[in-house]
């Protein structure tokens, strides 16, 4: 054990064995990160998937929990998806319980929250945090650390902007300053992204890089020929769209058999996704066809090769996908499928850029629909009214004072709020809207239809209208038998299907339509 390793172990006197004892050492990103967190510094950590980022943050925060006598909810861990949250919870719960630190989840799937019995470590989404700050703000007075996981997934979107405002609201609630930590596997402009969420922060960048060994193929048949020749046992196939996942998975099943192929995307029920994850962790041979739901750190075991069924949307996305494979090796094995010569050329340039570390830069532009959503959330949480200068202070990074006043006047004209004696108040219309829980999320509604297997009565997943009588879901063909109360009752078929219907997400937040016309871009 090196001197550096010995020093880290000495500083983590209560937590080292719990988090690192079975490995006997710390990984490079942990050696780089832990001292900064123990010194109460804000950090942006950029390191590949499965490099130990989570433990690099959680272990020293738990050490500080004891050293600084933290109480109540003191560590808040914010993650962009429920799947990531559930995976993280099951990874950490035994370790934290061993230390005597209570841990809990708050999501739409697990909404229960008892303000009289709060956990020390809370994992949640931005939208659930919004709900908690409205209803149980006092529970967050003792916050000492906030972790923002997979920050690249929501930065420069309405969800990232909502999170930035929520952090400002949290600062107003907390009885003392708290540290913030951003985590990502891939970030193109660390200083700019970090600066949107952190102040006076350090960028900790892992310099470990794996060799990318890539091959081209022009069909799935050619892919599986390579898989057989190289004795690859478990592969993960990435598609850009859910519809493509369904088509590709059906083709895979025709080549290797139904029992060896699973599907993973956001329209499937949680139980179906978990079943796919467990299959890939436990099976000796397997194929998983997925969208970006598996670009991020959900545990599906070690993967021998990554297959790109479609050209990734960016070099960052390419690196995220590659990062899911060959975790125990210094070489990432990738097979990219192309149909046209220009696709092969694009893939070639993307691989070259990935190897050279040349990532895309995207200009940041705030989503002003978040100002609407946050005005609603703040006024709903404060029926006694709010001073306009408070709204200015909280929303200043999204809109200037004149834009904010235009927004407030427009909302007042539409009877969402009213001004009395220098304060802004929610109207009865807004309070009723808030009671339904609709003020906490700016994610556009997708009007999903739940699919029920009419034979087993089990929920299979979700689809979006318009639907044909026959459609694909979970790699199988289904025929609609009936459609009742937003539930589609369908029967599995042994038939070839060429397409399925999925509704694409809009780029603006759900409250965009309430912006003054001159602010709608």
Omega before 466 within 30 of 0, i.e. cis = yes
pLDDT reading at 382 higher than 60 = yes
Average pLDDT over the chain reads 89
Percent of the chain residues past pLDDT 90, beyond the cut = 63
Q: Is the residue at 172 inside a domain?
A: yes
Which pLDDT value is given to residue 468?
63
Domain count, the chain: 4
pLDDT reading at 498 higher than 60 = no
The whole-number average pLDDT for the span 294-302 is 74
Instruction: Examine the domain organization and report whether 346 and 230 are in the same domain.
Output: yes
Instruction: Examine the domain organization and report whether 108 and 229 are in the same domain.
Output: no
Q: How confident is the model at residue 497 (pLDDT cuts 50, 70, 90)?
A: very low
Instruction: Examine the domain organization and report whether 390 and 273 are in the same domain.
Output: no
For the ranges 5-9, 90-94, 111-115, 498-502, the lowest mean pLDDT is seen at 498-502
Q: How confident is the model at residue 495 (pLDDT cuts 50, 70, 90)?
A: low
Which pLDDT value is given to residue 104?
97
Establish how many alpha carbons lie within 13 A of residue 158's alpha carbon, considering only the half-sphere containing its beta carbon.
22
Q: Is the residue at 192 inside a domain?
A: yes
The whole-number average pLDDT for the span 318-340 is 82
Instruction: Examine the domain organization and report whether 118 and 25 are in the same domain.
Output: yes
The structure tokens 């659930």 sit at 128
* Phi/psi at 433 (5° precision): -65, -40
Instruction: Examine the domain organization and report whether 278 and 200 are in the same domain.
Output: no
Q: Is the residue at 237 inside a domain?
A: yes
Which pLDDT value is given to residue 167?
98
Instruction: Examine the domain organization and report whether 333 and 270 are in the same domain.
Output: yes
In the numeric block, which tokens belong to residue 177? Answer: 């300053």
pLDDT reading at 502 higher than 60 = no
pLDDT reading at 211 higher than 90 = no
- Please state, in angstroms and rounded to a whole number, the distance separating the CA atoms of residues 374 and 426: 12
Which pLDDT value is given to residue 69?
97
- Please state, in angstroms and rounded to a whole number, the distance separating the CA atoms of residues 463 and 291: 15
Which pLDDT value is given to residue 503?
38
For the ranges 79-88, 200-209, 278-287, 473-482, the lowest mean pLDDT is seen at 473-482
Instruction: Examine the domain organization and report whether 217 and 246 are in the same domain.
Output: yes
- Please state, in angstroms and rounded to a whole number, the distance separating the CA atoms of residues 430 and 383: 10
Tell me the per-residue pLDDT of 424-462, one tens digit each, with 9 for 90 and over.
999 999 999 999 888 999 987 656 678 899 988 888 887
Which pLDDT value is given to residue 297?
64
Instruction: Examine the domain organization and report whether 389 and 431 are in the same domain.
Output: yes
pLDDT reading at 209 higher than 90 = no
Instruction: Examine the domain organization and report whether 433 and 471 are in the same domain.
Output: no
**Looking at residue 308, which CATH number applies to its domain?**
3.40.50.300
Q: Which domain holds residue 388?
A: 369-442+509-519
Percent of the chain residues past pLDDT 70, beyond the cut = 93
Q: Is the residue at 502 inside a domain?
A: no
What length is written for the chain? 521
Tell me the per-residue pLDDT of 146-165, one tens digit each, with 9 for 90 and over.
999 999 889 999 999 999 99
- What are all long-range contacts of 91-94, with beta carbons under 8 Å and residues at least 24 apart? 91/54, 91/299, 92/54, 92/58, 92/121
In the numeric block, which tokens belong to residue 517? Answer: 């016309």
**Looking at residue 422, which CATH number applies to its domain?**
1.10.10
- What are all long-range contacts of 348-357, with beta carbons under 8 Å and residues at least 24 apart? 350/311, 350/312, 350/315, 350/318, 351/212, 351/214, 351/318, 353/315, 354/212, 354/315, 354/318, 354/319, 354/322, 355/212, 357/209
Instruction: Examine the domain organization and report whether 160 and 300 are in the same domain.
Output: no
Which pLDDT value is given to residue 48?
78
Q: Do 333 and 325 contact (CB within 8 A), yes or no?
A: yes
Which pLDDT value is given to residue 86?
86
């Amino acid at each position: 054990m090196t001197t550096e390793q010995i020093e880290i172990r000495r500083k983590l006197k209560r937590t080292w064995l719990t988090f690192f004892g079975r490995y006997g050492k710390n990984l490079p990103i942990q050696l780089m990160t832990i001292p900064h967190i123990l010194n109460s510094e804000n950090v942006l950590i950029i390191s590949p998937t499965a490099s130990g980022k989570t433990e690099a943050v959680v272990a020293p925060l738990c050490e500080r929990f004891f050293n600084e006598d933290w109480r109540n909810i003191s560590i808040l861990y914010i993650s962009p998806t429920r799947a990531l949250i559930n995976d993280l919870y099951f990874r950490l719960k035994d370790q934290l319980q061993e230390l005597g630190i209570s841990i809990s989840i708050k999501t739409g799937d697990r909404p229960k929250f008892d303000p009289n019995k709060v956990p020390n470590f809370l994992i949640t989404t931005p939208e659930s945090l919004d709900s908690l700050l409205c209803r149980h703000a006092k529970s967050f007075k003792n916050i000492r650390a906030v972790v923002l996981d997979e920050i690249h997934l929501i930065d420069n979107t309405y969800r990232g902007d909502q999170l930035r405002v929520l952090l400002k609201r949290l600062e107003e609630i907390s009885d003392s300053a708290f540290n913030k930590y951003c985590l990502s596997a891939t970030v193109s402009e660390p200083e700019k992204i970090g600066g949107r969420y952190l102040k006076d922060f350090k960028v900790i960048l892992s310099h470990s890089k794996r060799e990318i060994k890539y091959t081209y193929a022009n069909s799935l048949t050619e892919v599986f020929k390579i898989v057989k020749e190289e004795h690859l046992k478990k592969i993960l196939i990435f598609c850009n769209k859910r519809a493509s996942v369904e088509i590709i998975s059906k083709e895979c099943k025709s080549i290797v058999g139904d029992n060896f192929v699973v599907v993973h995307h956001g329209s499937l029920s949680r139980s179906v996704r978990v079943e796919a994850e467990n299959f890939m962790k436990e099976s000796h041979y397997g194929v998983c066809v997925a969208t970006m739901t598996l670009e991020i750190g959900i545990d599906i075991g070690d993967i021998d090769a990554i297959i790109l069924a479609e050209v990734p949307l960016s070099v960052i996305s390419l690196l995220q996908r590659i990062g899911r494979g060959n975790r125990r090796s210094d070489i990432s094995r990738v097979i990219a499928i192309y149909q046209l010569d220009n696709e092969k050329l694009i893939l070639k340039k993307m691989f070259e850029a990935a190897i050279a570390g040349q990532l895309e830069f995207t200009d940041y532009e705030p989503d002003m629909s978040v100002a609407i959503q946050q005005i609603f959330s703040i006024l709903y949480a404060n029926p006694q009214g709010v001073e306009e200068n408070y709204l200015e202070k909280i929303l200043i990074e999204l809109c200037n004072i004149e834009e904010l006043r235009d927004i407030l006047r427009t909302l007042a004209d539409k009877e969402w709020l009213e001004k009395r004696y220098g304060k802004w108040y929610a109207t009865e219309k807004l309070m009723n809207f808030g009671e339904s829980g609709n003020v906490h999320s700016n994610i556009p509604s997708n009007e999903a239809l739940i699919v029920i297997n009419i034979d087993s009565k089990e929920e299979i997943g979700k689809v979006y209208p318009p639907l044909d009588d026959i459609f694909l879901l979970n790699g199988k063909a289904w025929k609609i038998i009936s459609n009742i109360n937003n539930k589609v009752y369908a029967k599995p078929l042994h038939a070839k299907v060429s397409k399925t219907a999925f509704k694409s997400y809009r780029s603006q937040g759900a409250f965009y339509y309430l912006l003054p016309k001159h602010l709608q871009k």
